[in-house]
Amino acid sequence: MKCIVRRLLPACLLSLSVLTLGVPARGQDNQSVSTRPAITVLDSTKEQDGLLGSVRRVKTESARIELKDGRPVEGPPQLVEVTTYGLKGNRIENTSYPPEGGVVGKEEYKYDEQGHITEMTVRDERGAILSREAYSYEFDKFGNWTKMVTNLVVFENGELKREPVEVTYRTLTYYYDDTIAKVVAEPRPATAPVIPQPASFQVSDQQVLDFAAPSSPKLSVEIATEPPPIPKPIKSVEPVAKPATDNTDAKSLFLIGRDFLAQQKDREAIKAFKESVKLNPAQPEALYGLGFSNFRMGRFRDAADAFKKATALDPQMAKAHYGLSLAYQELGLTTQLLQEYRILETLDKTLAKKLVQTFPQFNFSCRALNGCP
């Protein structure tokens, strides 16, 4: 990744983009501070940088991925580049922080049909291969990629594998034009899907919360008063190590977070749930609450991450799969949305049906099976 970023600094940098249209975003004064020497390149346009639509500003950050207890964990984000474009698409401001180190050699690239780099091979002066990296992307509604994961190609147990080593995020801000106006004016679902209340529902025992975002369907969900026990390891999910900290504090923070949700104080809820999960990471309900509050604030990437972790701990948690489906839809990840639909079909047909009713633009009946003709 370091080689490819260095090569692309004068053009478009690969990273994860978050459309800031109607979604709360961090201010530029909260950007990661870098001590690396800055480079400014203004002789470029957004088209040359591979950007689509009325892009005004692009902020790029990257984070190294390290293995901890056999699981990939993202490190702290580092600012890579901030670029601002004028109405005509020319660069008017640019600051780049080239990464240090990396393998030095001749770089060979492979591209997909859209011109995105999918693979890079580094060779020495004799032509021998030093390393190979492969890249995967996520895209926003305008076709600009929103996330890039750098994978080191390795050979293990007789087969080639991809080991994630870095993830790059890119935040895109767009000028308001006709295309944006059409996106904003897109009709929203007239009815909101609601999870049925269980037969034993009592207000004193459970709190039913409405979870919605400006451009998202409304979801009514339940958060249990008592956090569930640590689930047994599942074959498809790596077992979670028991935390060394007493779970009493984790439980108290969970209850505090739930109370903040009931008061519509999502920022406070996020903080409480994060602290609760930090003390006891094996809490699917706390992770679900974290996803819930992030979704309601329009932080769909963070919401998807929390919901996904909740489903890993408790694969039978239908409401978490449903929340994950809605987050994927907001992120434009149709394939993942359909995968969650398949799961809901087996866990809760009512929720699966509501998902179909909420997003009639998707032909779930055939796409969820073997694809449409």
199 and 171 part of one domain: no
Residue 185 has pLDDT above 80, yes or no: no
Q: Is residue 126 in a domain?
A: yes
| Residues 53, 106 within the same domain | yes
170 and 194 belong to one structural domain: no
- Greater confidence (201 vs 286) lies with 286
pLDDT per residue as tens digits for the range 206-226:
333 333 333 344 444 444 444
Shared domain for 137 and 200, answered yes or no, is: no
Identify whether residues 196 and 311 lie together within a single domain: yes
Q: What is the mean pLDDT of residues 260-289?
A: 90
The structural domain count of the chain equals 2
**What percent of the chain is predicted at pLDDT more than 90?**
33
Q: pLDDT, tens digit, for every residue of 102-154?
A: 667 888 999 887 788 999 999 998 999 999 999 999 888 888 998 999 999 99
Q: Are residues 154 and 199 in the same domain?
A: no
- Does 235 have pLDDT greater than 80? no
Residues 131 and 213 in one domain: no
- Tell me what pLDDT residue 205 has: 28
- Whether the per-residue pLDDT at 57 is higher than 80: the answer is yes
- Tokens read off for 195: 């999870």
pLDDT greater at residue 192 or residue 175: 175
In this predicted model, which residue has the larger pLDDT, 42 or 85? Answer: 85
Q: Which of 176, 199, 233 is the last residue of a domain?
A: 176
Write the pLDDT tens digit of every residue in 319-368: 999 999 999 988 888 888 888 989 999 998 888 888 888 877 676 765 44
Contact 262, 252 (CB under 8 A): no
Q: Is the pLDDT of residue 13 over 50?
A: no
Domain end residue (candidates: 176, 211, 229): 176
Q: Which pair of tokens denotes residue 264? A: 């519509």
Q: What is the span of the domain harbouring residue 34? A: 2-176
Q: Are 50 and 12 in contact (CB under 8 A)?
A: yes
If asked whether residues 112 and 202 sit together in one domain, one would say no
Higher pLDDT, 199 or 161: 161
**Which range in 104-113, 191-200, 267-276 is most confidently predicted, on average pLDDT?**
267-276
220 and 115 in a common domain: no
Domain with residue 206: its CATH number is 1.25.40.10
pLDDT, residue 74, reads 87
Q: Is residue 203 part of a domain?
A: yes
Per-residue pLDDT, averaged over 161-172, amounts to: 92
Of 127, 144, 176, the one marking the end of a domain is 176
At residue 241, the pLDDT reads 43
The CA distances from residue 151 to 76, 88, 107, 164, 325, in Å, are 18, 35, 16, 4, 26
pLDDT at 347: 92
Tokens describing residue 27: 């201010």
As a whole number of angstroms, the distance between CA 274 and CA 344 comes to 27
In a domain, 157, yes or no: yes
**Are 168 and 311 in a shared domain?**
no
Instruction: Kindly state whether residue 185 falls inside one of the protein's structural domains.
Output: no
Does a structural domain hold residue 183? no
Q: Is the pTM of this model over 0.85?
A: no
**33 shares its domain with 134:** yes
| Domain-located, residue 182 | no
Is 270 a residue whose pLDDT tops 80? yes
In a domain, 344, yes or no: yes
- Percent of the chain past pLDDT 70, that is, above it, reads 68
In a domain, 307, yes or no: yes
Average pLDDT score over the chain: 74
- Does 82 lie in the same domain as 6? yes
User: Which residue in this structure is represented by tokens 């080639």?
Assistant: 160
